[in-house]
Structure 1
Amino acid sequence: MTDNFLEDLLNQMTLEEKAAQLTQVVGSFMKGSSTSGEITGPMEEMGITEAMIENAGSVLGTTGAAEIKEIQRQHLDKNRLGIPLLFMADVIHGYRTIFPIPLAIGSSWDLKLAEESAAIAAIEAAVSGLQVTFAPMVDIVRDPRWGRVMESTGEDAYLNGEFAKAQVKGYQGKDLKNDLTRVAATVKHFAAYGVPEGGREYNTVNMSERELRETYLPAYKAAIDAGSELVMTSFNTIDGIPATGNKELMRDLLRGEWKFDGVVISDWNAVRELIFHGVAEDDREAAFKAINASVDIEMMSSAYVNHLQALVEEGVIDVELINESVLRVLKLKEKLGLFENPYRGADEQLEKEVILSDSHRQTARELATKSCVLLKNGSALPLKKEQKIALIGPFAGNKDILGSWSALGSKEDAITLSDGMRMQLDGENLLIAEGCAIENGTELELHHALEIANQADVIVLALGESSDMSGEGGSRSNIKLPQIQLDLVEKIAALNKPTVAVIFNGRPLDLHGVVDKVDAVLEAWFPGTEGGAAIADLLFGVANPSGKLSMSFPYSVGQVPVYYNQFNTGRPQVAPDVRERYVSQYLDIPNEPLFPFGFGLSYTTFSYSEMKLSHDVMTLDEPLKISVSVKNTGDVAGDEVVQLYIRDISGEIVRPLKELKGFEKVSLKPGEEKEISFTLTEEQLRYHHKDLTFTSDNGEFIAFIGTNSSDVQSVPFRLEK
């Protein structure tokens, strides 16, 4: 298929057909859908006609090989030029085999498994007829009140960028046209969606352009450089302008400066929401601002289809604005091979064979195992199979462990914690009681829980949030566990028995009332389809915890946003235990988070040798080699994430106290020692100056290596260009 073919096709299209090609609707609007296909109330409200549907360019949310093939068949029968539909959906961390939520995947620090999980999600989605996924989300997140932190891989630009590249590669592979098991990726949400004021969903974002470029844009750029075919606009404002109508952000920066020539798609109804933001008077003005900003596809609103033609005919916009968007959509369809094979990878037989296959479930179990983070451990873990164990709490047998963005994931497929523990333990040694529900409970439930707890040698408390307490629209001002669960913890703790808390959740929580009352805490997140089996492997020592937090856990909600790479101040706190009034501190809580970025424990211990630098001065031609030996000093094999940070001592602009610049996950047997080396280049020392130039400064730096962002050793060096 040549560019000439696409140009010829474009030239044959009417303005009405072009506007419809830039419109995305839900599958129920389409002929061949099992749910509708007729003009219903929502279609009439949007001003959508049958003619518009016949020329629509893409479909949102419909899945299943048979249904998608039927919708495509009926569409091609009606479409004058035979232009196939694109089918898209939110496949965020798995299609039917659900992996841990992205925040948990970030805590694995395992790029290979992240890529593999995306590839598996792509396979399952592709055989089910989908061609585009709305992932990865790479928004930097520093405020756990915001529910969508669960959909990001964390608070650090470098780490998010590395995961972005891995996931794009996993979704797309190397050849979208010929590899029918891959789907096109959509990096989102462009830009800075993860910084809403007050942590409140869809709220205003305010920051300087320098901070935007320095902290929030790099992860999107990493995904785009990795080849992401689409970019999705964010709901928020940037410098007072909503992203979906922001020409400077989309056309000038994304397309002009970054040379992105793929498809830009709005988020749901975001074009029309320009009216509610107060930058468009009506749908007509919203359509003008979005197309002028270079938004190619309007998702689930009808400003384009109802107004673009008139805007051209009245001379308000040049038809070339529409042509370039239509051509980008056609090129994506051509890249996916849809003109030759409009049904692409949709295959009912393969659906049955690959979805929830044993190998897919095994990968989900492995990733869940590596995503859990051991936050505390006295001597309660690992559990011993000869112990009588009481499993108590609202997540003891709860299948709500997939998270709020779990595509076609079914709770019925999920392995619960009680299921997983039964795989490891003789049934006579496992006693189970709910104790309370997630947000309420009865005296009878509590009495039963205390009764079985009294019979046990050790107690496992399965606690957490329901999936709808986080995710999109899940902002919360109180990020502690519900009070009924904290009351349960207190009653169990009063028994003075070894107690382990397993926490299921979609955000960092204030864990006071738990971490101070139990012997061990395992952060399980929403671990996905194989979650219960993976957690049981960890509890019984079949696997060794290796996860490290990719987002800080606050000491109190009053600290947020709290993150490791903060700036210093002119009056920094001298030390956590030194209380002076006129310094930057809280009077009632520490400045430091409860658990810092990069933190995570193991059942073994690791020792670090003294850091070594190849030389004390870095030049443009001679980067630094930084090395350290890491030894497993415990009795069991384990994985350690060795983390490299730097600090620029004096810059033109204030620099963070630490910046992650590299990491390596190393597996060590008991007594085994390995040397880990990092190469640090001048390019990694660059930052955006006050005039937005991206360069480095001569002068003093510090390199840090350690097991987390707080527990590090350091060595100084100089940059001399």
Structure 2
Amino acid sequence: LLKNKNRGLPIKANKSVAVIGPLVSDKNSPLGSWRIAGKDNTAISVEEGLSKYKAVNWTFLQGVQLTTEPTHFVLETKINENNRTGILEAVAKAKEVDQVIMVLGEHGYQSGEARSRTKLNFPGLQQELLEAVHAVNPNIVLIVMSGRPLDLSWADEHIPTIVQAWQLGTESGNALAEIIMGEYNPSGKLPMSFPRSVGQMPLYYNCKSTGRPTQEENPDVVFWSHYIDEENSALYPFGHGESYTTFTYNNLKVSNTSSGFIVTIQLTNTGNMAGEEITQLYIRDISASIARPVKELKGFEKNMLKPDESKIITFILTDKELGFFDNEGNYHVEDGMFDIMVGGSSEKVLKVIAERVTMDMTP
């Protein structure tokens, strides 16, 4: 769940909802590219998954075609760039309903071996379809099916609720239906960063510091590592993922052991629904003898909490987590200062600075 402004999800009973997009009824694309042992057209589609919920008045429409020819693992996927048949029908229906679910993205055969892209937008006419529907009914839930991070900057600015669905396999439609209807509270976190623009790629959270750090005291100075037309940060960072409830982090504490640290933090479910949260621990070795990343994931833990329930999460950092390999393949664990960061994503963290000092425990 990338965002859920105004609580567009879960879908409420007795609503009229139009489900629009070229992937709504697709039973093949959700299987993805690497499906050698799989059978074509065996995935549960989004339409099949949602149709079981009779309390909602559903309408399912393709909107536009995504591909122009049958797809195949060893052949190029031909994308529809010209046939706009279906857009007017989708717009007309969107005017009539309470809410719209758009199911857009890449075909499963657009990812994988020999399927690189220079653009990270929605292929074909899908962006045009999305904007046309948004113009008449902005109450949209966007389901994104893709095998890579796409540029969702327009959607992030205009669409209140966005779910990154990837290509989930045979039970795709059932899994998404449970999320959409609130039978399952989403808890997934992103395994990669999503860019604001294709020009940011490659983009990753664990980069190394540059020789020209941010000029916080004078941001108008140009001589620091940045873009003149875009932020440096990811649109959705590594580890990001929302829930139908809310969580807060408090009381981050770090204590020394003989060779590392014990880290504790209090996690509280501050919402009104039970949910799972993945607490993430990151470090930065400030004093290392060679350059280290500005942030490295060193631990994570998933916990289910009821509303108003709290839990103390504990991580233990040892030589295994605090060390690094040099260019000759030698493993080093060094004393010095570390940033210890814990939170719900690589960006939303609490931080303390701690010093590792090797202790002689010989009696």
Return 5+ residue gaps in structure 2 as ranges. Answer: 67-78, 359-363
Residue 629 (structure 1) aligns with:
266
Q: How does 1:136-215 map to 2 (within 5 A)?
A: none
State the 1:574 CA deviation. 3.6
Residue 242 (structure 2) aligns with:
601
Residue 118 (structure 2) aligns with:
477
Residues 1:681 and 2:318 aligned together: yes
Q: Work out whether residues 417 and 532 of structure 1, in 8 Å CA contact, stay in contact via their aligned partners in 2.
A: yes
CA distance 1:488–1:686, change in 2 (3 Å)? same
Q: How does 1:538-553 map to 2 (within 5 A)?
A: 538-553=179-194
Residues 1:408 and 2:37 aligned together: yes
Of 222, 236, 245 in structure 2, the residue corresponding to residue 581 of structure 1 is 222
What SS does the corresponding residue of 1:533 show, helix, strand or coil? Answer: helix
What SS does the corresponding residue of 1:542 show, helix, strand or coil? Answer: coil
AA aligned opposite 1:381: L
Q: How does 1:646-657 map to 2 (within 5 A)?
A: 646-657=283-294
AA aligned opposite 1:553: F
The CA deviation string for residues 433-470 of structure 1, in whole angstroms up to 9 with x for no partner, is: 11111243644411111121111100000001011111
CA distance in 2: counterparts of 1:411 and 1:388, whole angstroms = 32
CA distance 1:692–1:405, change in 2 (3 Å)? closer
CA distance 1:607–1:561, change in 2 (3 Å)? same
CA distance in 1: counterparts of 2:221 and 2:137, whole angstroms = 38
Residue 703 (structure 1) aligns with:
340
AA aligned opposite 2:313: I
Residues 1:643 and 2:270 aligned together: no
Q: Work out whether residues 153 and 235 of structure 2, in 8 Å CA contact, stay in contact via their aligned partners in 1.
A: no
Residues 1:567 and 2:215 aligned together: no
CA distance 1:575–1:547, change in 2 (3 Å)? farther
State the 1:691 CA deviation. 4.8
Q: RCO greater where, 1 or 2, for CA within 8 Å and sep 6 or more?
A: 2
Residue 717 (structure 1) aligns with:
354
CA distance 1:500–1:531, change in 2 (3 Å)? same
AA aligned opposite 1:459: V
Q: Work out whether residues 264 and 314 of structure 2, in 8 Å CA contact, stay in contact via their aligned partners in 1.
A: yes
CA distance in 2: counterparts of 1:521 and 1:576, whole angstroms = 35
CA distance in 2: counterparts of 1:376 and 1:514, whole angstroms = 10
What SS does the corresponding residue of 1:515 show, helix, strand or coil? Answer: helix
Aligned residues: 343
What SS does the corresponding residue of 1:425 show, helix, strand or coil? Answer: coil
Q: How does 1:95-174 map to 2 (within 5 A)?
A: none
Q: Work out whether residues 95 and 137 of structure 2, in 8 Å CA contact, stay in contact via their aligned partners in 1.
A: no
State the 1:699 CA deviation. 1.1
Of 137, 143, 152 in structure 2, the residue corresponding to residue 511 of structure 1 is 152
Q: How does 1:447-526 map to 2 (within 5 A)?
A: 447-526=88-167
State the 1:669 CA deviation. 1.2
State the 1:483 CA deviation. 4.4
Identity of aligned pairs, percent? 39
What SS does the corresponding residue of 2:157 show, helix, strand or coil? Answer: coil
CA distance in 2: counterparts of 1:686 and 1:711, whole angstroms = 24
CA distance in 2: counterparts of 1:673 and 1:618, whole angstroms = 26
Q: Work out whether residues 650 and 700 of structure 1, in 8 Å CA contact, stay in contact via their aligned partners in 2.
A: yes
AA aligned opposite 1:392: I
CA distance in 1: counterparts of 2:320 and 2:184, whole angstroms = 38
What SS does the corresponding residue of 1:535 show, helix, strand or coil? Answer: helix
Residue 349 (structure 1) aligns with:
none
Residue 669 (structure 1) aligns with:
306
Residue 290 (structure 1) aligns with:
none
AA aligned opposite 1:448: E
Residues 1:378 and 2:5 aligned together: yes
State the 1:412 CA deviation. 3.0
Q: How does 1:5-154 map to 2 (within 5 A)?
A: none
CA distance in 1: counterparts of 2:54 and 2:223, whole angstroms = 56
Of 41, 48, 72 in structure 2, the residue corresponding to residue 419 of structure 1 is 48
Higher strand residue share: 2
Q: Work out whether residues 652 and 689 of structure 1, in 8 Å CA contact, stay in contact via their aligned partners in 2.
A: no
CA distance in 2: counterparts of 1:419 and 1:576, whole angstroms = 55
What SS does the corresponding residue of 1:516 show, helix, strand or coil? Answer: helix
CA distance 1:563–1:594, change in 2 (3 Å)? same
State the 1:667 CA deviation. 0.7
State the 1:683 CA deviation. 3.0
Q: Work out whether residues 393 and 461 of structure 1, in 8 Å CA contact, stay in contact via their aligned partners in 2.
A: yes
AA aligned opposite 2:320: E
What SS does the corresponding residue of 1:538 show, helix, strand or coil? Answer: helix
CA distance 1:551–1:575, change in 2 (3 Å)? farther
Of 191, 196, 216 in structure 2, the residue corresponding to residue 555 of structure 1 is 196
CA distance in 2: counterparts of 1:576 and 1:487, whole angstroms = 42
Q: Work out whether residues 99 and 137 of structure 2, in 8 Å CA contact, stay in contact via their aligned partners in 1.
A: no
State the 1:526 CA deviation. 0.3
Q: Work out whether residues 618 and 717 of structure 1, in 8 Å CA contact, stay in contact via their aligned partners in 2.
A: no
Q: How does 1:322-401 map to 2 (within 5 A)?
A: 374-379=1-6, 380-399=8-27, 400-401=29-30
State the 1:716 CA deviation. 1.3
Larger-Rg structure: 1
AA aligned opposite 2:103: A
AA aligned opposite 2:54: L
Q: Work out whether residues 637 and 670 of structure 1, in 8 Å CA contact, stay in contact via their aligned partners in 2.
A: yes
Q: Work out whether residues 489 and 517 of structure 1, in 8 Å CA contact, stay in contact via their aligned partners in 2.
A: no
Q: Work out whether residues 375 and 601 of structure 1, in 8 Å CA contact, stay in contact via their aligned partners in 2.
A: yes
Q: Work out whether residues 84 and 125 of structure 2, in 8 Å CA contact, stay in contact via their aligned partners in 1.
A: no
CA distance in 1: counterparts of 2:62 and 2:328, whole angstroms = 59
What SS does the corresponding residue of 2:88 show, helix, strand or coil? Answer: helix
Q: Work out whether residues 24 and 47 of structure 2, in 8 Å CA contact, stay in contact via their aligned partners in 1.
A: yes
Q: Work out whether residues 282 and 341 of structure 2, in 8 Å CA contact, stay in contact via their aligned partners in 1.
A: yes
CA distance in 1: counterparts of 2:124 and 2:154, whole angstroms = 9
Residue range with higher mean Cα deviation, 590-599 or 438-447: 438-447
Q: How does 1:271-282 map to 2 (within 5 A)?
A: none
AA aligned opposite 2:265: V
Residue range with higher mean Cα deviation, 479-488 or 403-412: 403-412
CA distance in 2: counterparts of 1:710 and 1:391, whole angstroms = 33
The CA deviation string for residues 38-73 of structure 1, in whole angstroms up to 9 with x for no partner, is: xxxxxxxxxxxxxxxxxxxxxxxxxxxxxxxxxxxx
Query: What is the Cα-based RMSD across aligned positions, in Å?
Result: 1.7
CA distance in 2: counterparts of 1:524 and 1:450, whole angstroms = 24
Q: Work out whether residues 562 and 593 of structure 1, in 8 Å CA contact, stay in contact via their aligned partners in 2.
A: yes
The CA deviation string for residues 548-576 of structure 1, in whole angstroms up to 9 with x for no partner, is: 00111111111111100111112112459
Return 5+ residue gaps in structure 1 as ranges. Answer: 1-373
AA aligned opposite 2:113: E
Residue range with higher mean Cα deviation, 701-710 or 408-417: 408-417
CA distance in 1: counterparts of 2:14 and 2:220, whole angstroms = 49
Higher helix residue share: 1
Q: Work out whether residues 5 and 160 of structure 2, in 8 Å CA contact, stay in contact via their aligned partners in 1.
A: yes
Structure 2 length-normalised TM: 0.90
